[in-house]
Structure formats: C-alpha cells, structure tokens
Structure 1
Amino acid sequence: MNYLMLDKDDITKSYGKISKKELLKELDFKEYQLVSFLNNQGIFRGKYIIVEDDEKDGILIGEVTGKKAKKYYATRDGRFYIKWASGCITELYPFPKKRGNETIAVIRFNRKERYAKNLIASLFIKEMNKSDFVILKDGNWENISVENLEIISQKEYRSISRKKEQKKVGKFINNQLFKKYSSAWDASKDLCISYQTVIDYCYNAVKDPKHDLRWI
C-alpha cells in the first residue's frame, strides 16, 4: 500500500510516494493510529498531507454485476478492498475467527468466507494443493503479507505442530524467570488461558498481555 505526499498548501502538487510500512515506522504508529491520522488529515513532516495512492496493485478476486456492481481485490501486503462502479474504493478488513486453538484471519466477500492467508498465498506465491498449509512466520494472525507467509506440506505442518507442543515456555515477572512450563499446553492449563493465547503471548502478538510469557 502506497500513499502520496501532497503539499499542504497546494494539494495539486505531489512530492512522491511513501509506503504504509515506511509511514508506520517514521510516525511510530500502530495501524489504527495511522487510520485516524489519515482521516483527520494530519500533517506529515510538517508539510505534507498524506492520501491513498489511486494506483492499486491488487488482483481481482471477485465481482458483482448489476445495479450494485463492484469488484473485490487483494494485494501482496495482505490488504483487501472493493472498487465500486462509481470508482470509489472501500477497504475490506479481515476479522479473527477461531479454528480449534488457532486464530485465523477471515475475509468475507460475495457472501462467502475465506481464510485470508490462504487466499493471499494462492494468489501471490503459488497455486495451493488441498493438503497444503499456510503458516505465519511471526505467528501474528493479523500479518498476512506475502513476506510473512510460507506454504508447507501436511507432513511439515505436523512436524512444526509437534515441535510447538514440545517447546518450553517461561513466565516472567519484572523481567525475571518466575516459572517454567514443559509446553504451551501446560502453561495454558496452569494459567487458565487458551493454548493459542499462550502462543500469541510468546510471539508478542498481543498488545497488552496479562502474562509475560516467552519461549525458553
């Protein structure tokens, strides 16, 4: 996703593009903070108004014809959007859904739900087989950009799952190791939280975790 940097005193003048990743880093913002910043036309670097670039890099994934004609697109950085017949563009956001002990990002379009990471992987990495699995390299269900995805076989997935179950977890208090657990399962039982929550804590995928859990 790219943005244009427009002169705050003359928005007909553009001073180039900047990526979402660069914006988040330079502003030290989370995604929701950036959305608020853009909606309120915050001034970037004291001289630019940031607007979404009209040139999309998406792949068409669905279409509705008729009076409410619209097209659905997906991009390499894990974004989804709708382009209406009028030319207007609306962001389409994945939402979390539980699959066993795992949290999956789901995208809904044309009255159907799809696993967002599988859709992005099949569009931008390779066509998937029914037995393939898509894993998130950083463990964060919200990060479904191509760079964070890897397609693996069922055999590889089972091997990774077994290693996860056997990996030790430590509970830290004031940055000091307080208690050891032989696995994420043991930690989840002792702390009365789900197995996936333990995984999310260990991968720093939760903004305000109730426990400081780490792989050890």
Structure 2
Amino acid sequence: MKYAKNILETIGNTPLVKINKLTAELPCLVLAKYETFNPGNSVKDRMAVQMVEDAEAEGKLKPGGTIIEGTSGNTGMGLALVAVVKGYKMICVISDKQSKEKVDILRAMGSEVYVCPTDVAPEDPQSYYSTARRLSEEIPNSWYVNQYDNPSNTKAHFLTTGPEIWEQTNGKVTHFVVGVGTGGTISGVGTFLKSKNPNIKIWGVDTYG
C-alpha cells in the first residue's frame, strides 16, 4: 500500500503549472510552482519541518518542548502542523495586521497566539520579534525558531525546492522569480540552481512598503 505515515510526508513535490493568459504575449514558457498544494497551503511548510528536525538533531528542541516563533501566519501554520505531529506545544507571535482568520486557524491547530502591534520598530519590546524572543527566555524547555536568521530555512529549499524545479524542467530552467520574505527560498533555490547552471538568473521580488 502507498500512503504517507503522517501529514508531514505530503510536504513538497508540488506541481509546476503553465501560466497561460497572464503570459500570452511573452515569447517563453512560464511555469508556476504551486506551493499551495502543501498541507499548510504555503512554501513555508518546507522550512518548518527542516528547522524543527535540525533543532531536534542539535538538541535545541527536546521532547515535550515549546516551539516559539514570530510569524505573519504561514510559517506559524507550518510549525503548528509539525508541532501537532511531533507532540510539541506551539506559541505563535503575530502582528495585528494579520487577519482574524489566520489567528483562528492557528488557534484551531492548537497554537497559543500572541498578537502584537505593527507600528513599532523590530527592537521595540512590544514588537512580535521582541515578544517571541522574550517568551523563549521566560518559558522553560522552549526553542525560538528565528526563521530570519535560521540557516535551516535556506537549507530546506536547497535540499527540496531547488532540486524539484531542476528535475521538473529537465534542467531547462533559465530564470527563477520568487517573492522575498525571509530570504530562505531565494537563497536555497538560487544556490542549488546556480550550482547546476551558473547562467540561470535569480530574480527576487518584494512589495513596496
């Protein structure tokens, strides 16, 4: 029988789908990597698993521990999935600009959610960055994920997303265009693709503001 032992084993191996109407006037094939096919509905599932498994291997995350992270929602969802499967507690610290639906789904997944103000600097004690770090210092047997500075974020995409794109395109990929948040996806995929073909162009896209 073919089956996944748990929901985490369904992460990755997402399809490439041709974009038709939006790119009708372009003289090239444009494909979208559909990361919403991951169980947590985003690319963040990949690095959530990698970061937790690496923390376990390094002894930073111990049985019965608490995972703590400041998140805009997607990484929190990925981590919440991992926490449920592996038996950890999960605390998500998010900003107040996130939707009620994101807060509700994180709580439905068993996470404790702290909502912090958006209009403060990252180093402000009230920011979701500072709050997550403070909670990790106050709560025994806890681990602060720190996705922005965690090398396992990039590692996840070097080991999975990059190789998938290379294999799915039979090595014919010429450009990789990706939104930049933490920098993990572009760094991991970009490093892998360029190791295969240094002529591949890596384009990062970020929104104004």
Q: Same fold (TM over 0.5)?
A: no
TM-score by length of 1: 0.23
Tell which has more relative contact order, 1 or 2 (C-alpha 8 A, sep 6+): 2
TM-score by length of 2: 0.24
Larger strand proportion of the pair? 1
